[in-house]
Amino acid sequence: MIQAPVRIGIVGYGEVGKTFTRGLLGQSGVSTVCAWDLKFDLPAHRDAELDHAAHHGVTACTSVQDLCAQSDLIISAVTASSTLAVAQQAADFIRSGSVFLDFNSASPGTKQQAAAGIDARGADYVEAGVMTSVPPYGIRVPMLLGGAQAAPLASMLNGWGMDATAVSEKLGVVSAIKMCRSVMIKGLEALVIESYTTARAYGVEDKVLPTLQETFPSIDWAQQGAYFFSRVAQHGQRRAEEMRESARSVEEAGFAPLMASAIADKQQWVADQSKSGAFKGVGNSAPWQAYADVLLTSAKRPTAT
């Protein structure tokens, strides 16, 4: 197990990566924090991303190889579809004795495949299940850890102000927990978006939402709906990829992933509207009706042939 002072490298400098680099810099026992992201090489994003890193004291690496050379603890915080590819790339360069902490939402089988290459190089693979949205919590977001080094790593992370719980030495347990939860949470998002938007189309939302409030009085359905619409509009692509991994998890368990696949499709559809610029001008704090109206307009727009 790695010892302090620890050099941390984060692959993926998106919302999660930025949150954790800021939160870990300056923690006792952390010597440096570096990052690598594909955007560092893209002309449209490079300057802004490198400026952000420099402003926050984060060393921007030139490649995964460069990051592995500078890091004792490597954190992978990319999209679900890149989980295996990043682990395999890191396995080519990771140093023996290092720890690879995989934050990504992927199936038990994908995580086990990712671990194989890391372990073969004499490094330790630890899977993490981030159990709720990161922004409200920052680095204190609750997470579960699995793998042979899960317990000592959890102790180290908690010393840095994180909220990590080791649940199993067996790989795949944490990802199974995360994926089953995702079917419910992302499924609720998809159901709310489909139900509310349809109700809006028929002009019956003022009748539908009160019945939900009566059945589940502890939930503010208008506020929760606005939050769901907002998060999917912002992060639908990431959610769709996660749900494809959830579908893979269901398949690995021996079932047809009928619901998980449908949820992925709904999340992807909203993501596609967002990528087209449909939600431009709709603020993150907008009511759910503003998002629903955009989706209704998009649904009526003729498809180009």
pTM: 0.90
From the list 288, 285, 279, the residue with the least C-alpha distance to 197 is 288
pLDDT in the model for residue 269:
97
Going from N- to C-terminal start, the domains of the chain cover 6-169, 175-300
pLDDT in the model for residue 66:
98
Low-confidence ranges of the chain (pLDDT < 70): 301-305
The helix/strand/coil state of 52 is helix
Domain 6-169, CATH among 2.40.50.110, 3.50.50.60, 3.30.160.60, 3.40.50.720: 3.40.50.720
Q: What are the Cα distances from residue 40, in Å, to 7, 49, 60, 64, 265?
A: 20, 6, 8, 12, 30
For the chain, how many residues are written?
305
CA distance 108 to 148: 15
CA distance 6 to 132: 26
pLDDT in the model for residue 305:
47
Q: Are 196 and 205 in contact (CB under 8 A)?
A: yes
Domain 6-169 and domain 175-300 have a common topology: no
Token representation of residue 246: 């959830």
pLDDT in the model for residue 301:
66
For 204-220, the pLDDT digits (tens) are: 999 999 999 999 999 99
CATH architecture of 175-300: Orthogonal Bundle (1.10)
pLDDT in the model for residue 302:
59
